Amino acid sequence: MTAEQRAKSLSVHLVLIAYSVLAVGPILLVVMNSFKVRSAIFGSPLALPDATTFSLVGYEKVFRSSHILTYYSNSLIVTLVSMALVLLFGAMAAWALTEYRFRGSTALALFLSIGIMVPIRLGSVAILNMMRSAGLNDTLTALVLVYVAQGLPMSIFILSEFIQQIPKDLRDAARCDGVPETRIFFEVVAPLLRPAIATVAVFTIVPIWNDLWFPLILTSSDSTHTVTLGVQQFLGQYITDWNSVLAALSMAILPVVLIYVILSRQLIAGLTSGAVK
């Protein structure tokens, strides 16, 4: 490596490190401080918890005084069900739109791509009215429906790109073999879409798990609150219970990080496939 190359790689790394610190820093701060006593949170927010400042009081309070487990399971149910439906319908729609030419297929593809550009929150009022008249107000079903609608356009877009990369001969071979069309999709195409599906899964899960808006307007009782909404109850107008807030937030971060770690290898394959031939 020449000096010039070294300088270049160093500067690139500096930028990347700075970015990583910026991105990871606040999360570390939250997790770190969730293990400290209240005075230490304010006294030395940047210090690691030590023997004198370590405390689990936040976690204790969260478990004692709130329905955190209900919130947690609500979040999990909503996120996982939405993800499963987005992936299933997204992949099927992407396959149909790339594989079959039918009346209106171009118009349908166009309609779906509009969904990528228009944020779903613009329709909040209409959605609220719709859910109310459908009797779905304050149910997890309402959240799932909204999130599926929110996630579908992007997932169809990404999966279509990947489906186009699958050699056409493969499905022709399957057709010659007598494999029915649905089985071609589920047993030949879908397994080859694994990296793409991991990518879409992460892109779908993160905004759903973190969403505050729709739980706020669509759910009203403790039994349907999600984690992000549940955390809000510790943020008072006059006093904020920082121990509990930080503990609840730390717990809310955990599943997303876990899923990311599990899917990351597939994710990287998905993001870079096609880029490298």
Partner 1 sequence: MANLRIEHLNKRYGATTVLNDVNLDIEDGEFVVLVGPSGCGKSTLLRMIAGLDGASGGDIQIAGKLVNTLAPAERGIAMVFQSYALYPHMNVRKNMTFGLKFTGVPPAERDRRVAEAARMLRLDELLERYPRDLSGGQRQRVAIGRAIVREPAVFLFDEPLSNLDAALRVSTRVEIANLHRMLKSTIVYVTHDQVEAMTLADRIVVMNKGCIEQVGRPLDLYYAPANLFVAGFIGSPAMNFFEAKVGSVEGGCARISGPGFRSFDLPATSLKVGDSLTVGVRPEHLGRGEDGPFAVEGVVELVERLGEASFAYVRRADDRLFVAEVRGRQTPTPGERATLIAAARDVHVFDAAGLRVTTQNDA
Name the nearest CA neighbour of 182 among 106, 96, 276. 96
Q: Which is nearer to partner 1, 85 or 192 (CB)?
A: 192
Q: Min. distance of Cβ 180 from partner 1 in angstroms?
A: 6
Dihedral angle of Cα 254, 260, 262, 266, to the nearest 10 degrees: 180
Kindly state the tokens that stand for 83: 């993800």
From residue 67 to residue 96, the character string flagging contacts with partner 1 as x (rule: CB under 8 A) and all else as - is: ------------------------------
Q: Min. distance of Cβ 173 from partner 1 in angstroms?
A: 4
Q: Of 174, 205, 227, 246, which lies in the binding site for partner 1, with binding defined by CB under 8 A? A: 174
Residues in a beta bridge with 240:
235
| Residues 143/78, Cβ–Cβ less than 8 Å | yes
Q: How far is it, in rounded angstroms, from Cα 249 to Cα 199?
A: 25
Q: Which is nearer to partner 1, 128 or 179 (CB)?
A: 179
Query: Does 32 help bind partner 1 (rule: CB under 8 A)?
Result: no
- Give the binding range for partner 1 (CB under 8 A) out of 61-69, 80-88, 93-101, 173-181: 173-181
Query: Does 176 help bind partner 1 (rule: CB under 8 A)?
Result: yes
Q: Interface residues for partner 1 in 150-169 (CB under 8 A)? A: 167, 169
Kindly state the tokens that stand for 89: 């319908």
Angle separating helix axes 140-165 and 105-117, nearest 10 degrees = 120
Q: Which is nearer to partner 1, 180 or 207 (CB)?
A: 180
Q: Interface residues for partner 1 in 177-206 (CB under 8 A)? A: 177-180, 183, 187-188, 191-192
Query: Does 102 help bind partner 1 (rule: CB under 8 A)?
Result: no
| Residues 247/223, Cβ–Cβ less than 8 Å | no
Q: What is the DSSP string of 55-112?
A: --HHHHHHHHHS-HHHHHHHHHHHHHHHHHHHHHHHHHHHHHHHH---TTHHHHHHHH
Query: Does 265 help bind partner 1 (rule: CB under 8 A)?
Result: no
Q: Which is nearer to partner 1, 188 or 253 (CB)?
A: 188
Q: Which is nearer to partner 1, 76 or 188 (CB)?
A: 188
| Residues 62/248, Cβ–Cβ less than 8 Å | yes
Residues in a beta bridge with 36:
54
Chain contacts with partner 1 (rule: CB under 8 A): 167, 169-170, 172-180, 183, 187-188, 191-192
